[in-house]
Amino acid sequence: MPDPSSAVLAVLGAGLVDPASPVARADDAGLTRGDGCFEGCRIVMDADGRATVAKLDAHLARMTRSAAALDIGFDAEAWRDLVAVAVAEWTRTGGGEAAMKLLLSRGPASTGEPTGLAWIVPVTAETVALRQNGLKVITLTRGLGSDAFAQSPWLLGGVKTLSYAINMAAQREAERLGADDVIFVSADGIVLEAPTGTVVWSHGRTLHTTPTGDTGILPGTTQQLMFEHAGAAGWQVRETTATVDELHAADVVWVISSVRGPVDVVELDGKSRERRPDIDAEIRRLSGF
């Protein structure tokens, strides 16, 4: 668990705040209803020793879409300023690779003012170990059909909401079974996404990922960057629906998040997978890791 003294916290409208001090009221809809959205970003140090946010534009663009879907105001310029304040403080206090969470909630019922936070903590030793060792993954049903989100905007498909209780419960289920992470599967057997990441798999020189849209899965910012760079490097890139059997048949399967990067799956539903360090290294590099 990160020590709050090694965290940086900036609050929209207030600037830097002691990370150990409470920031959300009891009637904040983020707390009472998971009613809001977030982004998880990676901070790296540049050549001049300054902390910088990887693909910040893509994160702010996705957060703009999430906020719009939730009918919560989002001033991208104010958020850019908030991020700048938090990241400058991260540099000042020593820097290093880090995870930054941007969190927007509808705010307290008693004020109607949205709550906005930028929260930075060092990348954990667990993240570093998983990058090295690869992931043991189990598949779990998400209960919804792969077209459940068509014409049902209230189901918030593609919206990175604060309502992640099921995602967290699925990760606890994985832990209980000795695994590291989960790949969700639709009720009709289609591979969806991980609780906090995108799924990509390769066959030969083709990369695949599940289509967004009717499936309700989140568009992955790191997956999009990967596909862009891999496409330029001669890979074919495809949006494809696949079953778990088809995933077993892939050369490499990755679970991808902005902070952890693409991590190859070394065990899927108890079945070991041969690691392919050649392919894996190229894809990680193309993804900025």
Least spacing, CB of residue 85 vs a second copy, in Å: 14
Least spacing, CB of residue 96 vs a second copy, in Å: 18
Least spacing, CB of residue 181 vs a second copy, in Å: 13
Least spacing, CB of residue 58 vs a second copy, in Å: 21
Nearer to a second copy, 56 or 121 (CB): 121
Give the binding site for a second copy (CB under 8 A). 1-4, 7, 9, 19-36, 38, 69-71, 101, 103, 105, 108-112, 117, 119, 121, 140-145, 148-149, 152-156, 159, 161-170, 172-173, 187, 216
**Cβ contact 214:190 at 8 Å:** no
Nearer to a second copy, 146 or 221 (CB): 146
Helix (H) or strand (E) holding 195: none
Cross-strand partners of 202: 207, 252
Least spacing, CB of residue 248 vs a second copy, in Å: 21
Distance CA 208, CA 241 (A): 9
Least spacing, CB of residue 23 vs a second copy, in Å: 5
Nearer to a second copy, 157 or 261 (CB): 157
Nearer to a second copy, 182 or 268 (CB): 182
Place of tokens 């936070």: 117
Nearer to a second copy, 66 or 223 (CB): 66
Least spacing, CB of residue 252 vs a second copy, in Å: 26
CB atoms under 10 Å from CB of 22, counted, come to 8
* Kind of pairing between the strands at 181-185 and 135-141: parallel
Distance CA 185, CA 176 (A): 19
Distance CA 164, CA 145 (A): 19
Comparing CA positions, the residue from 152, 57, 66 lying closest to residue 105 is 66
Cross-strand partners of 278: none
**Cβ contact 200:209 at 8 Å:** yes
Comparing CA positions, the residue from 268, 260, 263, 257 lying closest to residue 283 is 263
Nearer to a second copy, 66 or 198 (CB): 66
58: left (phi over 0), alpha (psi -120 to 50) or beta: alpha
Nearer to a second copy, 25 or 50 (CB): 25
Nearer to a second copy, 76 or 177 (CB): 177
Degrees to nearest 5, angle at CA 100 with 25 and 212: 95
Least spacing, CB of residue 1 vs a second copy, in Å: 6
Distance of CA 6 to the CA centre of its chain: 22
**Cβ contact 37:106 at 8 Å:** no
Q: Two tokens at 232? A: 């330029």
